[in-house]
C-alpha cells in the first residue's frame, strides 16, 4: 500500500469548522484525511466522512497516537477509541505523533504495540511523526524499516530537513510533509511568487507541487472552498529544473514547530 501524495490536514480545525472543511474537501475530490487524537476533532471528522456518503474503501484516513497513550497498556485501547470516533472499523495509517518525552515510554514498547495494532487489523499501515535520525534508528531496531510507512515531519521551502530526508530515503522510509506552506510565510516569498507567475499558478500550488515532485506527501488544510479547490491543482502543476533549484536555495533551517518539553533534539 502506498500513501496518497495529496491529502487534507485538519490541525487546529474543530467542531463545525472541521466538519465543513472535510465535507467540502471530499465533495471536491479529496480522498485522504489526516487527523490526530490531540486535535480533538476525530469525532467531527468521522461525522463529516459518514455524512459525505463516500465509500470507506475509497478513503485513506490517518490518525496519530498522543504521548499520553504510548504505553503498551494504553496504545491499542486509545486507537480503538479513535476508530470509534471516526465511525469506521479501521484506519489506513496510524502514526506515533511525537516520540515519548525524556524516553518515558521506550521506542521499542510503543512501536511493538503499534505493530500489534496492525496485526489486529486496526490499522493498515503504521508510521511515525517528528522523529529524528537517532529515533528512526530505534524504530527500525524495534520493528524493521519495512513496517514504517512514513515519517511525517515539518518540511517547507524554509526547512527542507535534508539530513533527515536523505537518511530516511536511504532506508526506504517515505516522508510526509506538514507545515509545507510555513504557516503561510512561504506564500509571500518573492522567489515563489515569480515561479507562480511564470506558471500562471498560485504560490501555494507551487510549494505543494515542489514537495510532491521531491516524493513527499502533503496534507495542506484550509477552511475556504476556493483554497481547497485551488490546492488540488498542485497535483497537475509541473515545475522545471530551474524552479526546483530556486526553491532549494530558500532553505534556511527556519523551524516553526518545536514545542518545549515535547520536541526531541533536532538533527
Per DSSP, the three-state class of 159 is strand
**In angstroms, rounded to a whole number, what is the distance separating the alpha carbons of residues 226 and 207?**
17
Which residue of the set 30, 39, 158, 216 is catalytic? 39
Residue with grid cell 533527515, as numbered in its chain: 164
Residue 14 near residue 41, CB atoms below 8 Å: yes
Secondary structure letter of residue 53 according to DSSP: T
Residue with grid cell 504495540, as numbered in its chain: 113
Say how many C-beta atoms besides its own lie within 10 A of residue 56's C-beta: 13
Helices (H), 162-223: 162-170, 190-199, 203-213
Catalytic, 39? Answer yes
- The catalytic residue positions are 39
Amino acid at each position: 500500500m502506498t500513501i496518497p501524495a495529496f491529502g487534507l490536514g485538519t490541525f487546529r480545525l474543530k467542531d463545525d469548522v472541521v466538519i465543513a472543511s472535510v465535507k467540502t474537501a471530499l465533495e471536491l475530490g479529496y480522498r485522504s484525511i489526516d487527523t490526530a487524537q490531540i486535535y480533538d476533532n476525530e469525532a467531527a471528522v468521522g461525522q463529516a466522512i459518514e455524512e459525505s456518503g463516500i465509500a470507506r474503501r475509497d478513503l485513506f484516513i490517518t490518525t496519530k497516537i498522543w504521548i499520553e497513550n504510548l504505553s503498551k497498556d494504553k496504545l491499542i485501547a486509545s486507537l480503538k477509541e479513535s476508530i470509534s470516533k471516526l465511525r469506521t472499523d479501521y484506519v489506513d495509517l496510524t502514526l506515533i505523533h511525537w516520540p515519548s518525552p525524556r524516553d518515558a515510554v521506550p521506542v521499542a514498547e510503543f512501536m511493538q504495540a503499534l505493530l500489534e495494532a496492525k496485526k489486529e487489523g486496526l490499522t493498515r499501515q503504521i508510521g511515525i511523526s517528528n522523529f529524528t535520525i537517532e529515533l528512526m534508528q530505534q524504530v527500525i531496531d524495534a520493528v524493521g524499516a519495512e513496517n514504517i510507512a512514513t515519517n511525517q515531519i515539518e518540511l517547507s521551502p524554509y526547512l527542507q530537513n535534508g539530513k533527515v530526508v536523505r537518511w530516511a530515503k536511504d532506508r526506504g522510509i517515505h516522508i510526509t510533509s506538514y507545515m509545507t506552506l510555513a504557516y503561510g510565510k512561504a506564500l509571500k516569498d518573492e522567489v515563489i511568487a515569480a515561479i507562480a507567475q511564470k506558471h500562471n499558478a498560485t504560490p501555494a500550488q507551487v510549494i505543494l507541487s515542489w514537495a510532491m515532485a521531491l516524493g513527499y506527501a502533503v496534507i495542506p488544510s484550509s477552511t475556504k472552498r476556493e483554497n481547497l479547490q485551488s490546492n488540488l491543482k498542485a497535483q497537475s502543476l509541473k515545475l522545471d529544473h530551474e524552479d526546483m533549484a530556486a526553491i532549494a536555495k530558500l532553505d534556511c533551517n527556519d523551524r516553526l514547530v518545536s514545542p518545549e518539553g515535547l520536541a526531541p533534539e533536532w538533527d
